[in-house]
Structure 1
Amino acid sequence: MILDERSVVHAEFWSLKRVVEVTGVSKTEVYRQMNLGLFPKSNGYRDTPKKRFWLSNDIKRWQQEQFAKRRTEIDAEIDNDFDDLLNS
């Protein structure tokens, strides 16, 4: 499923534990990347703002972006390897 800002898709509220399970990224790395603007920001509940959650759609979108970025890197590596073969 491709998600974008215009999609109206059911979103779940995920705890940090769930985000770590789904992404395979450690708690420390989640917060490090979030502070660098490289990972979706968490949200606070209205009544208990210290308790945080992530929207499942934001995490899924981030995963798709990571996959697309990695695909581009792999394609570039293959192109470079092919160019090297042609030039040898």
Structure 2
Amino acid sequence: MIVEPGTVAHTEFWPLTRVQEVTGLSKTTLYDLMKTGRFPRSYSYQFTDKRRFWLSNDVKRWQQNQVPNRRTELEVEIDSEFDALLK
């Protein structure tokens, strides 16, 4: 069976340290974003409530959603500068 990247079968369980490494965000920032629903929730393992993990696909999807917003802001800035040059 071939597992395609981005599919549920390809999802990894990432601990906090991996999520911090991938996103560059601190533990405090991650949990603050989770509280407000702006970052994917974490899950606890069935055998313990102390260890938590995030689904890699959820984190990757969140990262991808950050890029279009930035591009949109940049496009607006470029458009306004271009319009100013035309005047």
SS in 1 for 2:10: coil
Question: Are positions 1:10 and 2:14 aligned together?
Answer: no
Q: CA RMSD in A?
A: 1.9
Cα deviation, residue 12, structure 1: 0.5
What is the aligned length? 84
Match of 1:31 in 2: 31
Q: Is it true that 1:62 corresponds to 2:62 in the alignment?
A: yes
Identity %: 58
Q: Aligned partners of 2:9 and 2:72: how far apart in 1? A: 27
Residues 22-73 of structure 1 deviation map (CA, whole Å, 9 limit, x = unaligned): 1111111111111111111101111112311000000000010001111111
Corresponding residue for residue 81 of structure 1 = 81
The residue identity in structure 2 corresponding to 1:40 is P
Q: Which amino acid aligns with 2:12?
A: E
Paired residue secondary structure (1:48): coil
Query: Partner letter of residue 26 of structure 2?
Result: S
Structure 2: unaligned runs, 5 residues or longer:
none
CA distance in 1, matches of 2:84, 2:31: 40
Q: CA deviation at 1:8?
A: 3.8
Supply the distance in 1 between the matched residues of 2:73 and 2:83 (Cα, whole angstroms): 15
TM-score (norm 2): 0.85
